Amino acid sequence: MNNTPTLLSSRNQAVQTAYYAMLKQARQLLSTIEGEEFRHSLVRAEKRRKPGLIHEFVNPLLYLRLTWHDDGSYSIHYGFEPCETYESITRPFVRSVYKLSMKDSTSSNIEDRIRTDWFIHNPDDMYEYIDERRKYHCFKLIKYRPSASKRKQMRVMA
């Protein structure tokens, strides 16, 4: 009995679960930025069931993409803007990508599903390009939620 489709299905489910956890973490990190322009995002979700893009999140600082390949496997592509000013956002994001895909963190080993062969090192340029030609992506503004330390400072000042 061949259980390869079952194994592939469980790995794909683990990849998808990790992707949406990474996306949630990225949105939480971005929500702490006061500047609205860095909380803008473009999202594309495909409903068709054939290989290609499943979900894409493009932001001036962070990038995530869930793809489906011809062999039936899912993978995650990511990227971040190398910007000293926002290292407090990009560093935890990169750590979350690898933490959420570690062999110890998932039901199936999906470490090889994090792809670096197509790494996005300038999501700001990508965001501008897609925004100008927006055909498939939807604009989403991430609501501002000050970090816990910022909220504490605001209460003290009030």
pLDDT attached to residue 150: 63
Q: Which amino acid is at 25?
A: Q
pLDDT attached to residue 51: 86
Q: pLDDT tens for the chain, 158 residues: list them.
A: 445 778 888 999 999 999 999 999 999 999 999 989 999 999 999 987 778 999 999 999 999 999 999 999 999 999 999 989 999 999 999 999 999 999 888 878 899 999 988 889 999 999 999 999 888 999 999 999 987 766 566 556 65
In this prediction the pTM is 0.88
Cα–Cα distances in angstroms (integers) from residue 139 to residues 23, 27, 50, 75, in the given order: 16, 14, 24, 24
pLDDT attached to residue 119: 87
pLDDT attached to residue 103: 86
pLDDT attached to residue 22: 97
